[in-house]
Amino acid sequence: MEKKLAVIALGGNALLRGNQKGTIEEQNANTVDTLENIVFLLKEGYNLIISHGNGPQVGNVLMDNAAGGEMFGNAHMPLDVCVAYTQGQIGYLIERNLRNILKEHGINRNVISMVSQVIVDKNDPALQNPTKRVGKIYTKAEADKLAAEKGWIFKEEIKQEGGWRRVVPSPDPKDFMNAELIERLAREGNIVITTGGGGIPVYIDEQGDIQPLEGVIDKDLASSMVGTRVKADEFYILTDVPYIYKDYKKPSQQILEFLDYADTMKYLEEGVFAEGSMAPKIRACLRFVKNGGDKAVITEATKLADKKYGSKITMDYEDDRR
């Protein structure tokens, strides 16, 4: 029997927590803690593709970049290069630590990390409406100065009064480079790390050449797209909560453990899930099951191996309790 193929999306905070400085020691420890929780899938015979966020890390790169700091000297690198930089950095941390974990558990699998380009539509309407916040928070005066110097667009930061943050377009992912190769590698038993941080956004021009695009792709939507493209059976989003909740952190809070497509879409349209946190993850899961995936799961990284936890989304209700 052919092994099941699963795509696992690790949040950026799985490597760098909000209350940490971001040292390599901290990121190494966080990576090990997170990866230990996927070992049970390997022991159950799954083939795996791993994606990851890069929000905290790319934010640090952009801060150094904007300041003309030590990392890039005085050369201001474009956003696609910054995303590629963090893909290599995080992919290396995941690959090295995962190889050590596999050795400890006596599991013989190859692990390969790839700097991945994700294809978007150069005419995507999202390119005309930058919404994705990146980098550090500035004062209004600092933001105005940078906007004049660099042509950056800023929006007021909701989480910090008086703060302003750069916003960039977040185009929809359509396909990714080396998809056939990555599927073959994964189905042969190799663990592939790909489309980190949503992937480097690129488009194909009129001459058929690959061109970079200044933007950031949503990590969960890109991971869902990967799952569909490689015909994965299951899709896991590891975040900082063990379930999907209705009315999160309100007196009426309710765990939603088993969901079908229709009910989940209804909740989404009613605004039950917060746009800044859970809603994008829900959309990614819905896309995956609508496009043929068996099951999508959202849970906390440390709860993945315990099947009492995690919210499961399937296309039809009768499949929800699998």
Span 191-229, pLDDT tens digits: 999 999 999 999 999 999 999 998 899 999 999 999 999
Is the pLDDT score of 1 beyond 90? Answer: no
Residue tagged 């050449």 (tokens)? 209
Residue range 83-87: mean pLDDT, rounded: 92
CB 143 within 8 A of CB 154: yes
Is the pLDDT score of 74 beyond 60? Answer: no
Clarify whether 132 is annotated catalytic: yes
Instruction: Write down the catalytic residue from 13, 30, 37, 97.
Output: 13
Residue range 180-191: mean pLDDT, rounded: 98
Say how far apart CA 182 and CA 217 lie, in whole Å. 19
What confidence score (pLDDT) does residue 62 get? 74
Instruction: Write down the catalytic residue from 37, 91, 219, 293.
Output: 219
pLDDT digits (tens, 9 = 90+) for 24-49: 888 888 889 889 999 999 999 999 99
What confidence score (pLDDT) does residue 192 get? 98
What confidence score (pLDDT) does residue 26 get? 84
CB 81 within 8 A of CB 248: no
Instruction: Write down the catalytic residue from 53, 215, 227, 281.
Output: 281
18 or 177: which leads in pLDDT: 177
CB 86 within 8 A of CB 54: yes
Residue range 137-161: mean pLDDT, rounded: 86
What confidence score (pLDDT) does residue 73 get? 53
Look up residue 47 and give its DSSP letter. E
Residue range 242-263: mean pLDDT, rounded: 91
Look up residue 13 and give its DSSP letter. G
Clarify whether 231 is annotated catalytic: no
Is the pLDDT score of 71 beyond 60? Answer: no
Where are the domains positioned within the chain? 5-124+171-317, 130-168
**Could you tell me where the DSSP H helices lie in 207-277?**
219-229, 261-269
How are beta strands 117-119 and 175-176 bridged, if at all?
Answer: antiparallel
Q: H/E element holding 118?
A: strand 117-119
Is the pLDDT score of 68 beyond 70? Answer: no
Clarify whether 13 is annotated catalytic: yes
Fold of 5-124+171-317: Carbamate kinase (3.40.1160)
Residue range 266-277: mean pLDDT, rounded: 87
Residue range 110-118: mean pLDDT, rounded: 97
253 or 177: which leads in pLDDT: 177
How sure is the predictor about 232, in pLDDT bands with cuts at 50, 70 and 90? very high
Q: Which of 59-68, 91-100, 190-199, 300-309 has the least mean pLDDT?
A: 59-68
How sure is the predictor about 75, in pLDDT bands with cuts at 50, 70 and 90? low
What confidence score (pLDDT) does residue 160 get? 74
Q: Cα dihedral sign for 242, 247, 249, 252?
A: negative
How sure is the predictor about 61, in pLDDT bands with cuts at 50, 70 and 90? confident
What confidence score (pLDDT) does residue 58 get? 76
